[in-house]
């Protein structure tokens, strides 16, 4: 599996994901971002089986990114953005503790890097994959960036804003609505979070 690009850039000024400059073979995706081995130029795949397999693989990449948040004692949440052509545009992990930035959630950082990669704030047709259901702030960022789809791992019954507590991204009053695919590798995503919070019972982290 192609490894996600490093996301150690300044969260305020994210580095774009550098494209693979090799000439693509017939049927491989083109455009900005990092080519993914299973992509065929159209994302997500049409078939249900293929779509399920690809979503699972992408969630594995998001879980890998989430694990890096533990080094800074941040809540282990990871996210990535994939283009309509199936290329990787951005990755992010929670970095609130690391940078002292209350807005440095995984989704926001992945969206920022994706926008830097494209050179545009409009992420139309893009998919955001994240290990935990987005909060209200992140759901708002998803809407403002015109993300087409959210693929999430674990639901958040306390602060989720894509279907659990609120459903910001599918509000009928909004001019933009987002498709939500939930429960992808939910057990693994939930286990990582439970293990983290088991060591933070004093409630000083959220």
The reply to whether 105 sits in an annotated binding site is yes
Active-site positions? 107
The reply to whether 135 sits in an annotated binding site is yes
Long-range contacts of 189-192 (CB under 8 A, 24+ apart): 189/59, 189/63, 189/66, 189/131, 189/132, 189/153, 189/154, 190/153, 190/154, 192/63, 192/66, 192/67, 192/76, 192/131
Environment class of 129 (CB within 10 Å of its CB; exposed 0-12, middle 13-18, buried 19+): buried
Give the distance from CA 139 to its chain's centroid.
12
Between CA 38 and CA 42 the distance in angstroms is 10
Binding site feature residues for Zn(2+): 105, 135, 138
Binding site feature residues: 105, 135, 138
């Amino acid at each position: 599996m192609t490894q996600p690009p490093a996301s150690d850039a300044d969260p305020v000024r994210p580095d774009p994901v550098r494209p693979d400059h090799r000439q693509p073979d017939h049927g491989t995706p083109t455009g900005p971002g990092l080519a993914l081995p299973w992509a065929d130029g159209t994302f997500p795949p049409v078939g249900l089986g293929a779509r399920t397999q690809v979503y699972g693989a992408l969630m594995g990449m998001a879980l890998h990114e989430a694990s890096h948040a533990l080094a800074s004692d941040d809540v282990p949440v990871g996210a990535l953005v994939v283009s309509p052509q199936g290329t990787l545009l951005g990755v992010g992990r929670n970095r609130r503790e690391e940078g002292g930035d209350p807005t440095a959630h995984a989704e926001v950082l992945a969206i920022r890097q994706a926008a830097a990669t494209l050179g545009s704030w409009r992420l139309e047709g893009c998919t955001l994959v994240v290990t935990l259901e987005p909060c209200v702030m992140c759901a708002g960022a998803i809407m403002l960036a015109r993300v087409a789809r959210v693929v999430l791992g674990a639901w958040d019954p306390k602060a989720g804003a894509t279907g659990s507590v609120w459903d910001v991204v599918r509000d009928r009053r909004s001019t933009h609505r987002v498709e939500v695919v939930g429960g992808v590798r939910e057990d693994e995503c939930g286990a990582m979070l439970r293990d983290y919070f088991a060591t933070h019972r004093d409630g000083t982290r959220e």
